[in-house]
Structure 1
């Protein structure tokens, strides 16, 4: 099935100005040939990074009414489902019920669940959202949590390789998620020292680089000693990219949309070391990175008053100072539509297979 035959149902936030949530996801999907049906979980004037935002959260009853109205009219017919920011447990429960019905009616539905809960140790949503996301995980084809969200979903603090392996094992084997992508991971010393040179050839570290990991469950994997593992293990790919300095919003929403658009599980991978997920992640990472470069370049060319550095005291005295800075750093999706379509994009960020990812677990099992 080509994109021209496919339809995405996007359920996430909406802003009148700027590009986050659905505004960062719908246009890229349309550029790649997908029809997109849109349900907004919030309707805000702009994203919260501006410091001032007004609007409303869509009540759960209203979401349910919209879903029922679409179904009654024969309009609820997605081949792919994308869910993002959903701020309350009641609203998320309504979305879970819909996702469950769609999964039952369409077993081949491709569902990308982006569990938008927070970042850097801070929740963006009500705490009672977290357990609902955990019970939704088996419905998903792909999930795209960030570092902090992986910890929330698995209750595992990621501070070394064994904890990273344990978290992925929980997502794959306990929650039965077949495909996991974690993007924008800071390269802490314990992580950078473990990466193969094919992934990070210059051994970068810390704040200068970020890592993207994709993990696809494989029921046919065998351990290096030839034994079949008692639980399924996954095929892991990764790639690191230099950090582009500055504040950007909507990057995760854009990445998830591109990942969903390029994920084709029924097509054979182009190389023996690739998976459909790693190939989709390569495309999403490449295009997101290129579009961020364009956004950064255009922001750097703005008048000085629109690119003043962050200063909480000065921003407090003059709120428009922050507004001008944020406005100049909105994603340049329209200007970068050729990038979204893959026109003229040359610097491919290939996800590389991480062959030794599970090795320590193998050693531990053998010793026991």
Structure 2
């Protein structure tokens, strides 16, 4: 058997399995990549919302990072929920020691609407992590936080992507337009100035728990396999569309997507 490519996720948990490192590891596996995970926060959440959060002590976080980085070198890294300034600073120290692709999912608010990180952490994210990311994957509400204005239409999104790139020194940005009213259209702003759009049918469902984590994890997996940013985002778009379309309809709230339905290359 040939050597597997390796992807690392640094994020929070979800005991219901739909989001966080649970969704990331499922997505890595679905894309044929060996997955590793460093836990930043233990989150009590399910399809109905977030009930409680316990951010891990910095010592055990550091030991987890040290364990991974001293033993198995990842081919790509994804970060999700980084709730505290100290966590962001510690993670950035490790990311600066490695040159593999880095996917930043700026997790700020859960699908349920629950806020997951502090205002101070958002500022640290902007300063420490955005400039070193290969690509960031904000949804519309997250892009609005980074842009500083409401995004109501395509023109505003096209402006926001370029501003986010220049303001924070981000190489590539994909703004996920799943919150738009018509098509589910994503906007990829590449580091060469090109803008690529990915469209899919809008699927009317409440079962979208963990879509952001899954989308970013697929990008990470495909970058770990040596795909280009544009190829990785294209695959993620197809993957998440199929995952939502075939969602297993679990739970009493916003259910998880299907991480094993996509059969594409």
TM-score, length-normalised on structure 2? 0.85
Which residue, out of 113, 117, 120, partners 1:125? 117
Greater C-alpha radius of gyration = 1
Q: CA deviation at 1:264?
A: 7.5
Q: CA deviation at 1:51?
A: 4.7
Q: CA deviation at 1:130?
A: 1.1
Higher RCO, 1 vs 2 (CA within 8 Å, ≥6 residues apart): 2
Change (3 A) 1:51 1:6: closer
TM-score, length-normalised on structure 1? 0.63
* Residue deviations 1:305-334 (CA, integer Å, cap 9, x gap): x8xxxxxxxxxxxxxxxxx5149x33333x
Which residue, out of 197, 202, 208, partners 1:248? 208
Q: CA deviation at 1:210?
A: 2.5
Q: Give the gaps of 5 or more residues in structure 1.
A: 188-205, 219-232, 268-275, 300-305, 307-323, 344-368
Which residue, out of 148, 152, 165, partners 1:155? 148
Change (3 A) 1:279 1:111: same
Q: CA deviation at 1:55?
A: 6.0
**What is the alpha-carbon distance in structure 2 between the residues aligned to residue 264 and residue 61 of structure 1?**
28
Which residue, out of 104, 112, 117, partners 1:113? 104
Q: Which residue of 2 aligns with 1:283?
A: 235
Establish whether residue 137 from structure 1 lines up as the match of residue 130 from structure 2: yes
**What is the alpha-carbon distance in structure 2 between the residues aligned to residue 264 and residue 43 of structure 1?**
26
Change (3 A) 1:264 1:82: closer
Q: Which residue of 2 aligns with 1:194?
A: none
Change (3 A) 1:12 1:235: same
Q: CA deviation at 1:126?
A: 0.9
**What is the alpha-carbon distance in structure 1 between the residues aligned to residue 220 and residue 226 of structure 2?**
14
**What is the alpha-carbon distance in structure 2 between the residues aligned to residue 146 and residue 266 of structure 1?**
25
Q: Give the gaps of 5 or more residues in structure 2.
A: none
Establish whether residue 79 from structure 1 lines up as the match of residue 1 from structure 2: no
Q: CA deviation at 1:159?
A: 4.2
**What is the alpha-carbon distance in structure 2 between the residues aligned to residue 39 and residue 265 of structure 1?**
20
**Farther off after superposition, 136-145 or 286-295:** 286-295
**What is the alpha-carbon distance in structure 1 between the residues aligned to residue 154 and residue 17 of structure 2?**
38
Q: CA deviation at 1:5?
A: 4.2
